[in-house]
Amino acid sequence: MGKAIISLRVHSNLKSWVAFAGKGFTSSGELLRLIIAKSAFQQANDAGIGKVVKGFLRRERAESIGDTVVLAVRLPADIAELVKECANDRDKTTSEWCAGVLFEWYGRFHEAYTELDGKVDIATYSVNLRALVEELANVYAQKHGKQAVEA
């Protein structure tokens, strides 16, 4: 199966957080791939009125252009296509959508990190994230009548 590479521009601070949280994964690239895939599956699995309400309630915020870095994520072609569809649904470019997803992940991860006084079990986090993404991929495949999706 083919692969696709998506690049995104984010604040340089996020790169170090991805590297830190990526220590429990085979690479920080795996973490980034799972973060993007998780959000794409979650958005695709939303249906009906919930999808409409979430679309209205999402916060738009201008991204600053200073002190940024470019990250790239390699995704299976089918997930990359799903990411493009999710970005189109939000009237964003693929890069903007992925940057927003990474920023949202950072907010949740940093909050948990702070609440736990920096005592985050990265190994457990990695196992739980992999399991969640696999579960979301299975739900997506069932809802959309597709064969199992590789995340």
Average pLDDT for consecutive 10-residue bins of the chain (151 residues)? 89 91 88 96 74 48 69 94 94 94 95 89 92 93 72 60
Residue 28 is predicted with a pLDDT of 72
In a domain, 92, yes or no: yes
Residue 17 placed within a domain = yes
pLDDT number for residue 57:
42
**Per the domain annotation, does 150 fall within a domain?**
no
- Residue 149, in any domain of the structure: no
Please name which of 41, 24, 125 lies closest in space to residue 75, comparing C-alpha atoms. Answer: 41
Alpha helices by DSSP H, the chain: 12-21, 28-45, 48-57, 77-89, 94-115, 122-143
Q: For residues 39 and 137, is the Cβ–Cβ distance under 8 A?
A: no
pLDDT at 104: 95
> What was the pLDDT predicted at 27?
80
Phi-psi region of 22 (alpha: psi -120 to 50; beta: other; left: phi over 0): alpha
99 assigned to some structural domain: yes
Domain residues for 90? 3-143
Domain count, the chain: 1
Global confidence as pTM: 0.82
151 part of a folded domain: no
Other beta carbons less than 10 A from residue 137's beta carbon? 21
In a domain, 30, yes or no: yes
